Amino acid sequence: MKRAVSLTLSTLFILSFFLISPSSSMDLNPADSCWDNWERCRSRALESDMGVIRTTLALTLCDIALANCLLKAT
Four-point Cα dihedral 42, 47, 51, 53, nearest 10: 10
Q: How confident is the model at residue 30 (pLDDT cuts 50, 70, 90)?
A: confident
Q: How confident is the model at residue 20 (pLDDT cuts 50, 70, 90)?
A: low
Q: Assign 69 to helix, strand or coil.
A: helix
* pLDDT, averaged across the chain: 81
Residue 28 sits at φ, ψ, to 5 deg, of -75, 140
Is the pLDDT reported for residue 47 higher than 80? yes
Pick the closest to residue 41 from 18, 65, 6, 5 (CA basis): 65
Q: How confident is the model at residue 11 (pLDDT cuts 50, 70, 90)?
A: confident
Is the pLDDT reported for residue 21 higher than 60? no
pLDDT of residue 29: 76
